[in-house]
Amino acid sequence: MKPAAQALDKRSLVDFYRQMRLLRIFEERAAEQYMRGRVRGFLHLYIGEEAIAAGAISTLEPQDYIATHYRDHGHALARGLDPKVVMAELFGKVTGCSKGMGGSMHLFDASRNFMGGYAIVGGQLPLAVGLGLAASYLKENRVVLCILGDGALNEGEFHESMNLAAIWRLPVVFLCENNLYGMGSPVKEVFAAADEIYRIVEPYHIPSSQVDGMDVLAVREAMEGVVGRVRDGGGPYFLEALTYRFRGHSMADPSEYRSKEEEAFWQKRDPVAKHRQFLLANGIASEAELETIGQGVEEQVEEAIRFAEESPDPAPEALYENLYANP
Ligand SMILES: Cc1ncc(C[n+]2csc(CCOP(=O)(O)OP(=O)(O)O)c2C)c(N)n1
Ligand SMILES: [Mg+2]
């Protein structure tokens, strides 16, 4: 058994399962609502990548910040945002966590230091560095978790952000979710050192490593060490989590550029099924207990959909709120 598993009690180990099931069911239902035209705009599903959000975010303290990309439902839910306010945001309703103004890609909750999902690839990187600079300047005990996709590595601001984080020794953990694709482009075709992405930060003298992103306990273990080190003043760290999105880039993508064999290879590593198997094989939970958890999650998501449906749209006047300049 991994040290992370030995260090955790039954409740925490089972809770990883509950959380990952919630992320999975939430998005499966959100996809159905998209097909019905109730969720509009873009919808990027995190299905297949749940172990990263659950494992990584479990190592943070409430005062720590998170800044992430647009594939953000799992991160928001793992940070404890209520599924109701997240679903309402997808529906564009006033009760959503961003008052219905952001939608799927712009979930936000300052009360949980969840500083947003960002649609501009790499856009969250300088913001995370800024949050890290503020924490460091104010001598606050805060770590910033900056989650990025492999696609962000080829943005200029990636390098600017790494350099500033390194030179100022900021308390930022860069967690790269390498799901092997940026839209329809395989990482291998757009990034020269595709097998060793984590080494991209070597010129900045930022320590880095790679972890199995399909294994929630492996992510938890790696992140515990990383967050502890960063919190103790060790400066930034870059962790690459190897993963795969089971669906297309967004709901509009039939994902025809991937082979059935490749998809099957990764489906066998389904993080939710893997953790379920771990709990059963080690006698930590019974089939019946896990079934009950699954049912509870289904009900929670149904309730979230009802809440979103019944919530009002933003008032037309809301168009003039939160503007930087008077119209
Ligand atoms: C600056 C910028 N360039 C291009 C795009 C269009 N775009 C949206 S998502 C995406 C791919 C990003 O891939 P990755 O970072 O690997 O994240 P993933 O979707 O795989 O989670 C691109 C190129 C964008 N949103 N922003
Ligand atoms: Mg990607």
Count of beta carbons in the 10 Å neighbourhood of residue 259: 8
The protein residue whose alpha carbon is closest to atom 21 in ligand 1 is 149
Q: Is 240 in the pocket of ligand 1 (CB under 6 A)?
A: no
Q: Is 235 in the pocket of ligand 1 (CB under 6 A)?
A: no
Q: Is 120 in the pocket of ligand 1 (CB under 6 A)?
A: yes
Q: Is 7 in the pocket of ligand 1 (CB under 6 A)?
A: no
Asked, for residue 326, whether it belongs to a domain, the answer is: no
Asked, for residue 132, whether it belongs to a domain, the answer is: yes
Asked, for residue 291, whether it belongs to a domain, the answer is: yes
Q: Is 256 helix (H, G, I), strand (E, B) or coil?
A: coil
Asked, for residue 174, whether it belongs to a domain, the answer is: yes
Asked, for residue 317, whether it belongs to a domain, the answer is: no
Nearest ligand to the CA of 180 is: 2
How much is the pLDDT for 327?
61
How much is the pLDDT for 184?
96
Q: Is 249 in the pocket of ligand 1 (CB under 6 A)?
A: yes
Q: Choose one of 104, 158, 183 to mutate for the ligand 1 pocket test, by most ligand atoms within 8 angstroms of C-beta.
A: 183
CA 121 to ligand 1 center in whole angstroms: 5
How much is the pLDDT for 67?
98
Q: In angstroms, what CA-CA distances link 268 with 5, 49, 162?
A: 22, 13, 35
Which among 108, 95, 70, 54 has a CA at the least distance from the CA of 304? Answer: 95
Asked, for residue 323, whether it belongs to a domain, the answer is: no
Asked, for residue 69, whether it belongs to a domain, the answer is: yes
CA 149 to ligand 2 center in whole angstroms: 5
Asked if 84 contacts 107 with a C-beta cutoff of 8 angstroms, the reply is: no
Q: What is d(CA 54, CA 274) in angstroms, rounded to the nearest whole number?
A: 14
Domain count, the chain: 1
Token pair for residue 244?
């795969």
Q: Is 197 in the pocket of ligand 1 (CB under 6 A)?
A: no
Q: Is 71 in the pocket of ligand 1 (CB under 6 A)?
A: yes
Atom of ligand 1 nearest to the CA of 123: 1
Q: Is 311 in the pocket of ligand 1 (CB under 6 A)?
A: no
CA 248 to ligand 2 center in whole angstroms: 11
Sequential pLDDT tens for the chain (327 residues): 778 888 899 999 999 999 999 999 999 999 999 999 999 999 999 999 999 999 999 999 999 999 999 999 999 999 999 999 999 999 999 999 999 999 999 999 999 999 999 999 999 999 999 999 999 999 999 999 999 999 999 999 999 999 999 999 999 999 999 999 999 999 999 999 999 999 999 999 999 999 999 999 999 999 999 999 999 999 999 999 999 999 999 999 989 999 999 999 999 999 999 999 999 999 999 999 999 999 999 999 999 999 999 999 999 999 888 888 876
Nearest ligand to the CA of 70 is: 1
Asked, for residue 94, whether it belongs to a domain, the answer is: yes
Residue 233 maps to which CATH number?
Answer: 3.40.50.970
**What is the domain range of residue 87?**
3-311
Q: Is 210 in the pocket of ligand 1 (CB under 6 A)?
A: no
Q: What is d(CA 121, CA 24) in angstroms, rounded to the nearest whole number?
A: 24
